[in-house]
Chains A and B, each alone.
Chain A
């Protein structure tokens, strides 16, 4: 199955929660030096639940779409719930067949999120 599905491309061209940063939130930056992907993610919590989340960065279609979808998903979720998310969840969320080499692109935003939950 082609990974460039309409929904993925839509999130790439019009990413949700992109730009700016969350006021009074924490931020973290992750990168993949192999391909130059970089994501800066900021987050704020209210009563242990995600209130606001934003990401900035340059990346491929997969990492951008994954950031967009993941930041939508995490809102109002608790830290405990989010700590359980793994690469299998990301693959399911994207709904596409990712080769071994592209999984790294897809899980980069998850790496950022996990760092923000510590």
Chain B
């Protein structure tokens, strides 16, 4: 990973930057920024409309990204790739277009306590509207999903809603479970969930179950093969994987995408409109109403090319190494004063190190780190049910990506020493 920073212009503009918030959004390489500029300067036409060459060029570049995304996750074909605004919109699309199609009163939707709000609230609202049951898989003390077949215990959660029963997987999934929606990687704990094993097990219990994977924190860091994972839908965001903001991906099995309701109605998604009826286009265009983020989608392929050139395995290894170093350095330096969340084994722990530090408030910690040029996140990271479960109102989160190195970890350690120096009584 040496010299990779040279490919990110922000490091030339901010030489002292210690950016440890890639879980929120990643930095962008020059190739991505150049591609956006290329679209706006050279062929900034709308897609699927003009017969003139500039529009054809834009359409070709746009659709090429779809093909490259399809290859990146090993989809059957590019018709399975729907562009949205972000992973959040992909999940809301599913709750609306799929959930409202298949969910009836008395059915169940299962999710987990470690979800980002975007994979929690849409299902909470949907089940409440339909009169379905909203069930939640708990975590164990180390931050793994509580899936153990021999690990069924009487869960005492501090979640007050009695509908939300936290039980082990083989107790929680039933024939009535229409949807299991879970994250591949927790955006707080860093836990990498065993998706393939979970999908296999739940489909044994209920072959009709639809499994939706939030891969927003996985796609930037791990090799994703949708054939291998066995899920029905996978969502992720461009901006967390070196690409532009405003671009999300929804991958789904083509048969299911065809059966779903459209999401929004309008331009581009329609085949024929009559006074009494409308005929929609086939997926993916059925779900892409209105002018999309053309320049951003075109530039997204440069991000994927960048990731492919470095290699997803190499990226994972690099992040595991930094996570190991960070956990060790922080623990050795601050001992019992620092409490790091998530699995100890970095094989199960993607480059996210969330922690609480002494009695110091996460806002004060991140403020003093910011004064020292270090960018981390403080708060509940859009995972309030998880923080309630952990009995922590907020945590500090440092996260690593391909441009981070050991020096960044050292700056974090030094920054925390400064926090102690300033705030101790």
Contact = CB atoms under 8 A, between A and B. Distances in A.
A35 B367 contact: no
A33 B422 contact: no
A28 interface: no
Contact of B361 (A3, A9, A13, A60): A60
A9 B421 CA distance: 12
Nearest to A2: B371
Contacts of B384: 33
A62 B363 contact: yes
A73 interface: no
Contacts of A89: none
B364 interface: yes
Given A35-B393, A36-B394, A62-B363, A4 B422 contact: yes
Contacts of A35: 361-363, 378-379, 393-394
Interface string B360-377: 011110011001000000
Interface residues of B, number: 17
A102 B361 CA distance: 12
B425 A102 contact: no
A60 B364 contact: yes
Given A34-B380, A36-B393, A36-B394, A9 B362 contact: no
A61 B378 CA distance: 14
B271 to A, nearest CB: 45
Contact of A13 (B367, B378, B380, B425): B425
B145 to A, nearest CB: 25
A17 B294 CA distance: 58
Contacts of B361: 35, 37, 59-61
Contact of A9 (B380, B394, B423): B423
A102 B422 contact: no
A35 B367 CA distance: 13
Contacts of A34: 379-380, 394
A24 to B, nearest CB: 32
Contact of A61 (B379, B380, B393, B423): B423
B231 to A, nearest CB: 32
Contacts of B368: 4
A62 B361 CA distance: 10
Nearest to A38: B393
Interface of B: 361-364, 367-368, 371, 378-380, 384, 392-394, 422-423, 425
Q: Closest 4 CB pairs between A and B?
A: A36-B393, A60-B361, A60-B363, A13-B425
Given A4-B367, A62-B364, 16 more contacts: A2-B371, A4-B364, A9-B422, A9-B423, A12-B423, A34-B380, A35-B362, A35-B379, A35-B393, A36-B393, A36-B394, A59-B361, A60-B363, A60-B364, A61-B361, A61-B423
10 contacts: A4-B422, A4-B423, A9-B422, A9-B423, A35-B361, A35-B362, A35-B363, A36-B394, A59-B361, A102-B367
Interface of A: 2-4, 9, 12-13, 33-37, 59-62, 101-102, 105
